[in-house]
Chain A
Amino acid sequence: MSIKVKTIVRYGRSWQERLYLIEVFKGMACTFRHFITNFLDNSKLYVRHYPEVKPEITPRWRGRHRLTTHEDGTIKCVACYMCQTNCPAQCIQIEAGERTDGRTEKVPLKFDIDLLECIYCGYCVEACPMDAIRMDTGIFSVTATNREEMKMTIDQLRSTPGAFSEEEYKKGGA
């Protein structure tokens, strides 16, 4: 078996190419073709009209966080501090308290995520043993007019629904 040799064609050596001008005109013909098609019919542009037309988000996209709940509406989080410990940006602040609904012993009283600090690495999701925190809301644009609004509280995190079905999310590799 011989070694596969791929000969790469070298351009720029022939006299037409060294003359440069012919290649310039070829290039200009190419750009002009693009220009004139788009100029005569601008529906052919390869653009998404962004604020009005949203991009498609895949389930694997790491968007804004949310806290998941059991079927009866109680929070899955057990305030184990795994995510807070694991967070490289130290944007999660948890305050634990006693749990009264009988599921476990602890529950987060406070669960703040400072989105200005968050780097959207997804380590909190990976660290969570209870599948209590997810980044599947599909929210990719987080904006606010002041710093306080960027701090997500437990209520905001709980009330945000996921953007994908359970099967889609699982298929996404989580």
Chain B
Amino acid sequence: MTLQDILLIIIRVAIGAFVPLCFVAVSVWMERRGASFIQDRSGPNRANILGFRAGGLIQNLADAVKLFFKEDVIPAHIKHKFYFVLAPIIVCVTALVSFAVVPFADTLVLGDKEYLMQAIPTDLGILWFLAIASFAVYGIILAGWSSHNKYGMLGGLRSAAQVISYEIPMGLAIISLLVVYGTVSLNEMAQFQGQLLFGFIPMWGVILQPIGVVIFMVAAFAEANRTPFDLAEGESEIVAGYHVEYSGLKFTIFFMGEYVAMFASSAIIVTLYFGGYQIPWFNTATLLKYAVPVTLLLMIATPIIAKFVAAWIRKNNVSHYERENDPRVREANVYIKIVWGAVILLEAIFFLYLVFASGGAADNILVACLQICTFLAKTTFMLFVYVWVRWTLPRFRYDQLQKLGWNVLLPLSLLNIFVTSAIVVALS
């Protein structure tokens, strides 16, 4: 094993492990600020370090510190302490591990070696995700049961029933997807989506499987226990559901697990239906071929985007009331300097690449970086959709939930399989 191999393993595992964890902070922030903007409030915007509020991100830090220092209570009535402690760990770890097979860039070719850009370089892909993701519910059931609390128990039961009913449409939606793609490897699926339909439409899953995407997304929302399917923690009926007895760090782990699961399922939705890491109309081969023009385009585009971002910061990072020597304006000045600093850094990297490294292995690395950025941007948008749906739709009643699962999604997904298979057979 060469140094290059080891380095790439470290990079891939680091991305696979730390990106979901970093995105916990981002998605919590997006949830709170997004919710408040949707409801015409401002959300958390006061917590700061030396006057820097980072748009409310500092609030997450304060919350995390609070949760870390809270007393970690195990109530005296709990008989199975081991299971009680195990439950949040299962939820968090399964969520983290299910992200491990998602490719965040196309196969990286360095010299004569190829590297699958996944934390676990395996072809199992979607099978791994299905196996691991449905494990998360074991944590929830275990938490509900070992809490020895009627609310916890009810939450766990609801969650179990919900996952069983939505696992089936999800699996069937994936089957029709497999018929289209003809592979279980997520990387090959993403490569497939780099092609063009009729020569001008990107061949994304969402275009090939318009019904499948709706079914899969609904099922994924139910799987991630998000509104409108978060009956397992319906506050108005069963207090907090399965994590009613949890506090301190154990609650934090549950909380993080929920958001990591949300990230992992957004990543899967993006990979299956929204082209994965593919930039529309620019698949890996095209990108490699036109690496230099693309870089030039990026060199022009970055300052223009930065200008808009700077104007946006200047406009919005002010106090909306009479204030002498507004500290928020000073804050905005620093942010704008940071933005321009980042632009200069990027331009320098692109320039050095163009002058010294273009044409070699650096092309491949550049394309991989671009694809990682695209993948993260798409996933972030998908996370926003999660937040967006949460603050739009009210929670389903329990019978409505089951009715939707069994009476609507199941026949629809079966129909989808027949139609898809018929079309695929007719075309081949």
Which residues on A are within 8 Å of B, measured CB to CB? 21, 24, 27-28, 30-32, 34-35, 38-47, 49, 52-53
Interface residues of B in 312-341 (CB under 8 A from A): 312, 315-316, 319-321, 323
**Cβ B40 vs Cβ A28 within 8 A:** no
- Whole-angstrom CA separation of A9 from B354 in the bound complex: 66
**Cβ A46 vs Cβ B389 within 8 A:** no
Minimum Cβ distance to chain A for residue B214 (Å): 7
Minimum Cβ distance to chain B for residue A126 (Å): 37
Minimum Cβ distance to chain B for residue A152 (Å): 30
- Whole-angstrom CA separation of A52 from B320 in the bound complex: 10
**Cβ B42 vs Cβ A47 within 8 A:** yes
**Cβ A52 vs Cβ B321 within 8 A:** yes
**Cβ A39 vs Cβ B389 within 8 A:** no
Does residue B392 face the partner (Cβ distance < 8 Å to A)?
yes
Question: 3 nearest interchain CB pairs?
Answer: A38-B37, A46-B40, A31-B392
> In chain B, what residue has the closest Cβ to A32?
B388
11 interchain pairs, CB-CB under 8 A:
A24-B389, A27-B392, A30-B392, A31-B388, A35-B38, A40-B312, A42-B37, A44-B40, A45-B40, A47-B40, A53-B321
Scan B258-270; emit 1 where CB is below 8 A from any A CB, else 0.
Answer: 0000000000000
**Cβ B392 vs Cβ A24 within 8 A:** yes
**Cβ B41 vs Cβ A47 within 8 A:** yes
Residues of A within 8 A of B214 (CB): 21
**Cβ A49 vs Cβ B41 within 8 A:** no
Scan B379-412; emit 1 where CB is below 8 A from any A CB, else 0.
Answer: 0000000001101110000000000000000000
**Cβ A35 vs Cβ B392 within 8 A:** no
Q: Return the contact of A39 from the options B37, B41, B319, B392 (Cβ within 8 A).
A: B37
- Whole-angstrom CA separation of A21 from B218 in the bound complex: 11
> In chain B, what residue has the closest Cβ to A40?
B312
A43 touching B320 in the complex, CB below 8 Å, given contacts A24-B393, A35-B37, A38-B37: yes
Residues of A within 8 A of B321 (CB): 49, 52-53
**Cβ B388 vs Cβ A28 within 8 A:** yes
**Cβ B315 vs Cβ A41 within 8 A:** yes
Minimum Cβ distance to chain A for residue B177 (Å): 20
- Whole-angstrom CA separation of A44 from B42 in the bound complex: 10
Minimum Cβ distance to chain A for residue B96 (Å): 29
Residues of B within 8 A of A40 (CB): 312, 316
Q: Return the contact of A34 from the options B39, B319, B320 (Cβ within 8 A).
A: B39
Minimum Cβ distance to chain B for residue A95 (Å): 44
A49 touching B320 in the complex, CB below 8 Å, given contacts A28-B388, A40-B312: yes
- Whole-angstrom CA separation of A38 from B41 in the bound complex: 9
A31 touching B391 in the complex, CB below 8 Å, given contacts A21-B214, A39-B37, A47-B41: yes
Does residue B34 face the partner (Cβ distance < 8 Å to A)?
yes
**Cβ B38 vs Cβ A34 within 8 A:** yes
Q: Return the contact of A31 from the options B38, B319, B323 (Cβ within 8 A).
A: B38
- Whole-angstrom CA separation of A44 from B40 in the bound complex: 8
Minimum Cβ distance to chain B for residue A54 (Å): 10
Name the residue among B37, B41, B323, B391 with the largest chain A CB count within 10 angstroms: B37
> In chain B, what residue has the closest Cβ to A44?
B40
- Whole-angstrom CA separation of A39 from B312 in the bound complex: 9
Scan B24-49; emit 1 where CB is below 8 A from any A CB, else 0.
Answer: 00000000001001111110000000
Q: Return the contact of B392 from the options A28, A44, A46 (Cβ within 8 A).
A: A28
> In chain B, what residue has the closest Cβ to A48?
B321
Extra inter-chain contacts (10) besides given A31-B388, A49-B321, CB under 8 Å: A24-B389, A31-B38, A34-B37, A34-B40, A35-B34, A35-B388, A42-B37, A43-B316, A45-B37, A49-B320
Minimum Cβ distance to chain B for residue A28 (Å): 5
A45 touching B42 in the complex, CB below 8 Å, given contacts A32-B388, A35-B34, A52-B321: yes
Interface residues of B in 170-220 (CB under 8 A from A): 214
> In chain B, what residue has the closest Cβ to A53?
B321
- Whole-angstrom CA separation of A97 from B173 in the bound complex: 86
- Whole-angstrom CA separation of A42 from B332 in the bound complex: 14
Minimum Cβ distance to chain A for residue B230 (Å): 16
Residues of B within 8 A of A44 (CB): 40
